[in-house]
Structures are given as C-alpha cells and as structure tokens.
Chain A
Amino acid sequence: MSKLFPSKTAPFAYSTNSVQKTMTTVLLALAPATLFNLYLFGWPAILLFAVTVGACAVAEASCVAVSGRPATSTLGDGSAVLTGWLLAMSLPPWAPWWTGLVGAVFAIYLAKHAYGGLGQNPFNPAMVARVALLISFPVVMTTWVAPHPLFSANAPGLADAFAITFGGKPIDAMSSASVLGFVKTELSRGIPVTQSITQVPNLMDMAIGYRVGSMGETSALLIFAGGLFLIARGIISWHIPVAVIGSLFLMGAVSNLADPARFTGGAIQVMSGATFLGAFFIATDYVTSPVSKQGQLVFGVGVGLLTWIIRSFAGYPEGMAFAVLLMNALTPIIDQYTRPRGFGRTRKGDPLPLKVNS
C-alpha cells in the first residue's frame, strides 16, 4: 500500500489553523472601518481602493508566474490582498490612481518577493510602500480632504470621481490638514499646541471618524473594534497593541505635563493619526514582528516611542510608518534576546541546578 510508506513522522492530526483563515479573519476585522470610510470619502476613495488592491493582486500573480509556479497559486492565502488593503487604508483617500499602482509595485515586488516571498520579508510591505511614496511624492501624499460622504450634497459623483482619481483633477480647493499636520504647521509658525488644539475636531469626532485623514486614520473606534475582534479570535495577542498604545499615551501625557505648549497630550496622540490601525493591524504583522511574547512587548514599546519622537521632533507629522519600519529592522535582534527559557534549563541555557537527593 503506497499510503503506508513512511514519508513523514507524527503527528497525524492537525488543528484547524491555516494561513488563509488568518488572513480572511484580518480582512473581516478591517471590513467595518473600511466600509465606513469608503462611505465617508465617496467614489474617489472607492476607486483608489479598488486600484490598489487590484494592483497588489496582479503584482503577486505576476511574481509567482515568473518563478514558474501557477500564477494564482498564492493569491488564495490572501496575503497580497491584505497588503493592498492596508496600503489603501494609509493613502490619502483622493490620491491619484498611480499612487496605488506604484505603491503595489513597491510593496509586492520590492518589499515582499525580492526577499523571497511570503514569510521572508524583514520589512512590512505596506509600510515600505507608504514610506517610499511619501518620500518620492510628498505633495500628493500629504494632500488630505475632509470627508465628503457618499450621496451627500457636495460629494463628487462617479464621473467626477473618475476625473479625480484617473484624470488628475486638482483638489486643492477641497484639501484640508489632518490633526497632527495642522498642529505641526502651527507649531512651526510659533503658535503653541494649547492654542492650535482648540481648533481641531474634538476627541469624539476623531474617534468616530468624521475628520480629515487617510482611511486608516479616521474612525478609530471601528478600527479598535476590529482589533478587539482579532484578539478575541486569537489571531493576534494583546502584547503589541497594548505596548504601542500604552507607550504612546504615556509619552504624550508625560511630555504634555512637562510642556503643554510644545507637546500634544496622551489622548490626542492615541486618537489621531493611524495609531489604532498601526497598533492592531500593522505592527502586529506576523512576519515582521518578534515571535515571542516578551519580544512583542519590547517591539511595541519601541514603535510607540519612535512614533512619538518622530511626531514631536521630526519633519513628518505622522510617524507610525517610519517607527514600524525602524522596529522591523530590530526584530531579529529582539528575537535573539527574548527566546523562551528551555524546560529544565536556566535562562542562560545550562541545566537547572539540582538539590541533592539520595
């Protein structure tokens, strides 16, 4: 009997885990926030989203085909779609179509397959793409708009949307600054935080989402709910989100206490920008974050710290993407120093001492 030949060892039973199941659950968790934001920002956002996700899928298929395997063999695991989805969430909703395309090229070709495909990339592909776009096309990538909900009075119709996304129709007239961007610009003009902060949407608005930003920045509450869903399903653990949000909040609160005119408070830090998206969906990416729980805590604290530093002192209003990439670079060394203790051994690896028994 050919089936009896010992081609493999035990175990001969498996759990129901699968890569596909994981990716689909993450997409499910992202769905409410995504749908709400697509509604908030209307047709241009929908078109850009479609282009980005589609481009990532095509890029993935083409890479796989070039390596000699059937083109659609890896699309099934959902990782390329997830990368495109997260990338779309971090782009300005009314950005032109080519940002999605170029982003897909950066994310899939450069940040994923150039390193060997699924599981081999040291850097988060969506964040590599976002950062590359931000540095290469700063104007386009920092042109934000206020929400123009679908079917509302001043929302662009489908034809207008095509013009905006594909036709390059200028949208300066409708652009406005995101919260962090506004605060930073005002600071550079000499206006202290205490003053500028009164002019931004209040916390509740930021939480629900009716404000300027990328699709991943608005509606913190829906993203948070999605994140809790992921933890409940066991897809991610609480370590990274708690560490990121906790350290960011702490740094914000402490610095605000020390110098309220210079630094925004903890709540603003946590509620603005892509904090929740970053903490629950981006920093928790399996491949680029540490494998042990202690390592994940260190990683999360690093992300939070770096995000605060970049937001407060560096030239960019939003620091999450850079922070994640910088901590991705440290993941291998974090992993090396946070290995679990072996059973029957000390932390150093020697056998545990034995009390004499005879």
Chain B
Amino acid sequence: MKLFPIRGGVHPEYRKELCSEKAIVSMPMPELLYIPLQQHIGAPAEALVSEGDLVKKGQMIARGQGTVSVPHHAPTSGRIKAVTQVIAIHPSGLTQLTIVIEPDGRDEWADLPAPIDDPFSVKPQEIKDRVAQSGIVGMGGAAFPSAVKLNLGIQLKIDTLLINGAECEPYLTCDDRTMRERADEVIDGARIMAHALGAPSVIIAIEENKPQAIEIMTRAAEAQPNVEVVGVPVQYPMGAERQLTQAITGLETPSRKLTADLGVVVHNVATARAVQQAVRYGRPLVSRVVTVSGEAIREPKNVEVPIGTPVAKVVEFCGGFTSEPARLVNGGPMMGAPLVSLEVPVVKGTSGILALTAGEVKERPASPCIRCGVCITVCPCGLSPVEMAPQIRKDHLDVAAKLGVMDCFSCGSCSWVCPSHIPLVHYFNYAKGMLAEMDREKKKVERTKALSEEHTIRLEKADEAKKAAMAAKKAEMAAALAAKNQAASAAADKANP
C-alpha cells in the first residue's frame, strides 16, 4: 500500500527492548480499588452506589451523564467502602470524587448483557449501545468515549476504520503485546466497529519496529478481505491521529475538523479488543494492559491491571524500584504526565507507568535560545516554537495565539530536540491553559453583563407598571370625583331652580 510522508517528527531512543518480549501477566487484586468518576473526556459519571453496597464484577457502579460521558463498572466483586474525594491521577495533585471498593476475593461476575452472536447482522445502533453501556473509552491515552466516536458514522460517510497500532512512544509495549497475543480479538473488534460505523474497509497501521506484531496480525487478517495490515515508518509522532491519517491517505485534516471529515475514523488496538469483549461476551471495561518500564523498575512488565489499582501496588508487583527514580511518568516519556504520588489509581487511559533514572532523562537546566531553528524543522504541526516561546514568556499570549499555539498538541518533539533544553512544551501548555481560562473569564463577563442588563430591564418594567397603575388609579379617582361633582351640581341645580 502506498504510504505518504509526515512532516517533522523526531527519532527518540525507543528502549522497547525492556518490555517488548514480556508477555502480558495478571496481577493479584489489591486490598482496595479506587474508581474515579472522571477518567475520560466529557462529563464525569454519576455514582449509582453508596457506602456499604455489595457489588459484583462488571456491575455498573456509575452512570454516564449527558451525551459525552461513559459509565464505570466494578472491576471485581466486593463491598463499596466509600464514595469520597481521593487524589486523582492528574499532574495537579487535586482530588476528585472516587468510588472505593473493597474486593471480597471471590471475583464473581454480575449478570452480564447477553453476547451478540452475530454482530454483523444487527443494526449498528445496537453495537454502539453495547459499547456505550460497557464504559469503553479510547485506550491509547486520550480516553474519549468510544461510542460517541462511533456515532460519527451517522452524519459522515466513513470509508476507513484506521486501527492505530503505531505505539510511537518510547518504552510502551502494551499495544505491541496486545497485537501479538490477542490478534484475533483485535481484528474481530475492528470489524465489529467498522460495521457500527458503516465503514467498508479496515486498515491496521503498525510501526515497522514491531515486526512480530505485523506478522501475527497479517496472518490473523488473512481470512478477512476488507482488513489490511500496513507497516508504517518508525517516526515519532506517527501514532498521532492526524499524522497517521496523513501517512495512510496523504490527506491533511483541515484545522478544527476531524479525521472523520476525511472519511477516516481512528481507534486504538486495545479499544478494538475491548469492543470485542463487550460485544461477544458482554464484558464491560474493567481492566487494561499497562506497560511498567524504565531503568528504575526492577522487573519491567506488561501487566493486566484492574481499573482502580493504586500505582504503588502495580510497581510493587514489578519488583519495586531499583533506585529512586528521577521522573515518574503516567504514559510515555514524550507526552505523558508526571505522576504526583504513587497512591493514585490506574484508570482506563493509563497506558504506561515509567520510572526513569536521571541517566535516561538527561535533563539539564535551560540555557538561552541560540535560534538554531531545529524546533521548526521537527514540529509536525508546522508551528514556530522559537517564536512562540519568547512571546509567552513575555506574557504576549495574544501574539502566541496568532502564531498558532492552539494548534499545538504537545507532542514534545521541539522540547526533545532543543539544544538549550528550553521547556517549550511547558510554555505551550501554560499558554493553552491560560488562553482557555481567559476565554472562560470573558464569557463570564459577558454573561454578567447580560444578567445586569436584564436586571435593569426588569426594574424599568416594574417601574413602568407601577407608573401605569398609578396613572390608571389617578384617572379612576378623577373620573369618580368628576362623577361626584356632577351629581352634586345636578342635585344643587335641582334644589335651586
């Protein structure tokens, strides 16, 4: 299949060998599971249980709110210990409402929805409903509700379901192992999703540094005429949705539009597998494969982790730390978030837990920009970090917005390549957050102005109504007085002819 080049990008040290040959293993259930209500993009779920309730594995414990939301399910059977504020797996260190479950050790499944025996003969809506009620989100890390993404097939004509097996982040091998060990399930899930989207063809894109995965998936897809497995060049960020779409189709997704507008919908391999489990067995999303890696981890592994397991327990299962890590990362080293504490829970979008040594990170304090321009060469979005960063530093956020900082998806290529180790992505994340806050404040001011105007109008109307009533009353009284005077004068006339 003809492939197209993508712009920019870098070639970091991949270090996949730490984990790529380690098969997926299960870990023992921890003493407590913490299921946050917000693990996804969209509105947080609403808790359906309260302290003391008994739940079974796969039982829905939180219901989605609104159209862009997902439900959450109990990863095992047990008792609800509390529904309380617990530290979130988020760089801010803030807490969020979380359901705490105490496993009873029996791991009993609840009554699950019936398996859909022939998914290709049912209506697409039935598949989407099953995906929605199973709490499936994008498992590449974005955690966007998958059912909502499948709905794109309603208004747009989707030609291709592009399954993202690129896994371009260093260290991470969870998708690689999923493709090698669960190839049939992934392909089945992909075909089911394609049916739900109305897409005639499925392309599974895998970076060429995973030859075994390409081979195994190609063999598994041989029987399916509409499924093609394609090896894509190893280039970070090949796994980014728009870049992968460009590599496969040659088309650039216009700014502010979706890849679906080009007829392509992208889903992660693990998401496809989760859909297969939900449709074929009725099993909701209650666990995921997490790559635990980095030189500071004693035994790097790919672990099937129940959702809600504290990171500390996962690290313990992998032998603990060999030395104090210089950086603890949730996700990959290029786009992952720093882990604030080890007591945070693994959630549906946690693809990796990395414990990196100082030697692996190679951080240095920032030095002045020498305007070498390599950041421009590597930016996949065609932006100019060398110009945006000083504007942000000087608080000219409007200039930065004009230069296109909102287009940045924080891939990290520019910061990775900068010889002066300037925290470019940090500047852009700050700018994006600050611009969003300023936008919210502006909207609030506009709302306040509107309310104030309505208040003034209401008072004026009340005033006018009062005046009208007074005038009416006056007129009434005057008329009554006139009538009285007339009657009096008529009487006087009568008395004095």
Stretch of A83-91, A114-122, A132-140, A214-222 contacting B (4+ beta carbons < 8 Å) = A114-122
Pair B242/A344 contact, Cβ less than 8 Å: yes
> Least Cβ distance of B141 to chain A in Å?
11
Q: Is the CB of A6 within 8 A of B91?
A: yes
Complex contacts, A6 vs chain B, CB 8 Å: 91-93, 337-338, 340
Q: Which residues of B contact A14 (CB under 8 A)?
A: 361-364, 415-416, 421
Instruction: Give the interface residue-count category, chain B.
Output: 35 or more
B157 close to A358 (CB less than 8 A): yes
Contact with A along B227-268 (1 / 0, CB 8 A): 000000000000000100000000011111100011100000
In the complex, which of the residues A3, A12, A344 contacts B254, with contact meaning CB atoms closer than 8 Å? A344
Q: Say whether A337 faces chain B, with CB atoms less than 8 Å apart.
A: no
State whether A8 touches B367 (Cβ < 8 A): no
Interface string of A279-302 (1 = CB under 8 A from B): 000000011001111000000000
- Given known contacts A22-B419, A342-B407, A357-B263, A13 and B372 CB-to-CB distance under 8 angstroms: no
What is the CA–CA distance of A291 and B371 in the complex, to the nearest angstrom? 7
In the assembled complex, A186 has its CB within 8 A of some CB on chain B: no
Could you give, for residues 365-400 of chain B, a 1 whenever the CB lies within 8 Å of some chain A CB and a 0 otherwise? 001111111101101111110110000000000000
Choose from B367, B374, B381, B425 the contact partner of A11 (Cβ within 8 Å).
Answer: B425
Asked if B368 and A11 make an inter-chain contact with CB atoms under 8 angstroms apart, the answer reads no
Instruction: Tell whether A173 is near chain B: CB-to-CB under 8 Å.
Output: no
Binds B, one of A43-51, A262-270, A312-320, A345-353: A345-353
- In the assembled complex, the Cα of A10 lies from the Cα of B356 at a distance in Å of 13
Question: In the assembly, what is the distance between CA of A266 and CA of B13, in Å?
Answer: 46
The chain A residue with its CB closest to the CB of B356 is A12
A residues less than 8 Å from B420 (CB atoms) = 18-19
Give the contacts of B115-129 with A (CB-CB under 8 A). Answer: none
Interface residue? B404 (CB, 8 A):
yes
Q: Does A258 contact B (CB under 8 A)?
A: no
B325: interface (CB < 8 Å): yes
Q: A344-B407, A358-B156 are in contact. Are A12 and B419 (CB under 8 A)?
A: no
B315 is an interface residue with CB less than 8 A from chain A = no
Question: Is B447 engaged at the interface, CB distance under 8 Å to the other chain?
Answer: no
> Given the complex of chains A and B, what is the CA–CA distance between A292 and B371 in angstroms?
10
Question: Which single member of A1, A13, A77, A345 contacts B12 (CB below 8 Å)?
Answer: A13
Whether B423 contacts A9 by the Cβ 8 Å rule is: yes
A233 at the interface (CB under 8 A from B): no
Indicate which residue in A8, A18, A351, A354 contacts B338 across the interface (CB closer than 8 Å): A8
User: Which of B28-36, B64-72, B204-212, B327-335 is the contact stretch?
Assistant: B327-335
Given that A13-B362, A15-B12, A340-B382 are contacting pairs, would A354 and B261 also be in contact in the complex, using a CB cutoff of 8 Å? Answer: yes
- Known A-B contacts A9-B429, A11-B333, A11-B335; the reply to A344 vs B257 at CB < 8 A is yes
Q: Which of A10, A118, A351 contacts B425 (CB 8 A)?
A: A10
Please measure, in the bound complex, the distance between the C-alpha atom of A345 and the C-alpha atom of B328, giving whole angstroms.
Answer: 36
B428 CB, min distance to chain A CBs, angstroms: 9
Cβ of A189 under 8 Å from chain B: no
A21 interfacial contact with B, CB 8 Å? yes
Contact A339 B416 (CB under 8 A): no
What is the distance, in angstroms, from B472's C-beta to the closest C-beta of chain A? 59
The listed residue with most A CB atoms (<10 A of its CB), out of B255, B256, B419, is: B419
Taken together as a complex, chains A and B put the C-alpha atoms of A79 and B367 apart, in Å, by 13
Interface 1/0 per residue, B270-284 and A, CB below 8 Å: 000000000000000
Query: Chain B residues with Cβ under 8 A from A342's Cβ?
Result: 255, 381-383, 404, 407
Q: Which residue of B lies closest to A344 (CB)?
A: B255
Q: Is the CB of A352 within 8 A of B252?
A: yes
A17-B417, A344-B242, A351-B256 known; A357-B423 Cβ under 8 A: no
Which residues of the partner chain A approach B444 to less than 8 Å between Cβ atoms?
none
Interface membership of B336, Cβ < 8 A: yes
Q: Bound complex: CA of A12 vs CA of B329, how far in Å?
A: 8
Q: Collect the chain B residues with CB atoms within 8 Å of residue A290's CB.
A: 373
Distance in angstroms from A137 CB to nearest chain B CB is 31
Give the docked Cα–Cα distance between A24 and B127 (Å).
61
Residue ID in chain B nearest A236 by CB atoms: B372
Residues of B close to A354: CB separation below 8 A: 254, 257, 261-262
Q: Is the CB of B419 within 8 A of A13?
A: no
* B242, B333, B417: the one within 8 Å of A10 (CB): B333
A159 contacts B by Cβ under 8 Å? no
The distance from the CB of B311 to the nearest CB of chain A, in whole angstroms, is 11
Q: Which residues of B contact A1 (CB under 8 A)?
A: 324
> Could you say which residues of chain B place their CB within 8 Å of the CB of A5?
340
Residues of chain B within 8 A of A21, CB atoms compared: 419
B384 nearest CB across to chain A (Å): 6
Contact A119 B370 (CB under 8 A): yes
- Complexed CA–CA distance, A331 and B262 (Å): 39
| Interchain nearest-CB distance for A75 vs B (Å) | 13
Which residues from chain B contact A13 at a C-beta distance below 8 Å? 12-13, 170, 333-334, 356, 360-362, 416
Is the beta-carbon distance between A10 and B337 smaller than 8 angstroms? yes
Of residues 1 to 44 in A, which have CB atoms within 8 Å of B's CB atoms? Answer: 1, 3-6, 8-19, 21-22
Docked complex: A321-349 residues within 8 A CB-CB of B? 335, 339-345, 349
Q: Which A residues touch B419, using CB under 8 A?
A: 17-19, 21-22
A1 to B334, CA, bound (A): 22
Q: Which residues of B contact A119 (CB under 8 A)?
A: 368-371
Does the CB pair B325–A3 fall under 8 Å? Answer: yes
Q: A11-B334, A17-B418 are in contact. Are A3 and B324 (CB under 8 A)?
A: yes
**A293 (CB) vs chain B CBs: closest residue:** B377
**Which residues of B have CB within 8 Å of A292?**
373, 376, 384
A350 nearest CB across to chain B (Å): 8
CB <8 Å contact, B242 and A118 = no
Task: Verify if B326 is at the interface (C-beta below 8 Å from A).
Answer: yes
With contacts A343-B382, A344-B242 taken as known, whether A10 is within 8 angstroms of B412 at the C-beta atoms is yes
0 or 1 for each of A79-118: is its CB under 8 Å from B? (1 = yes): 1000000000000000000000000000000000000011
15 contacts between A and B (CB under 8 A): A3-B328, A5-B340, A8-B423, A13-B362, A14-B361, A15-B12, A17-B418, A19-B367, A19-B419, A21-B419, A119-B369, A290-B373, A340-B382, A342-B381, A358-B157
A10-B415, A335-B387 given; 12 more Cβ-contact pairs under 8 Å: A3-B328, A4-B340, A12-B336, A13-B360, A14-B362, A15-B10, A15-B12, A340-B383, A343-B7, A351-B254, A351-B256, A351-B257
* A interface, CB within 8 angstroms of B: 1, 3-6, 8-19, 21-22, 77, 79, 117-120, 286-287, 290-293, 335, 339-345, 349, 351-354, 357-358
Q: Measuring CB to CB, which residues of chain B are less than 8 angstroms from any residue of chain A?
A: 7, 10, 12-13, 91-93, 155-157, 170, 242, 252-257, 261-263, 324-329, 331, 333-342, 354, 356, 360-364, 367-374, 376-377, 379-384, 386-387, 403-404, 407, 410, 412, 415-421, 423, 425-426, 429
**Leading 10 A-B pairs by shortest Cβ distance:** A291-B373, A11-B412, A352-B254, A17-B419, A344-B255, A351-B255, A6-B91, A119-B368, A13-B333, A6-B338
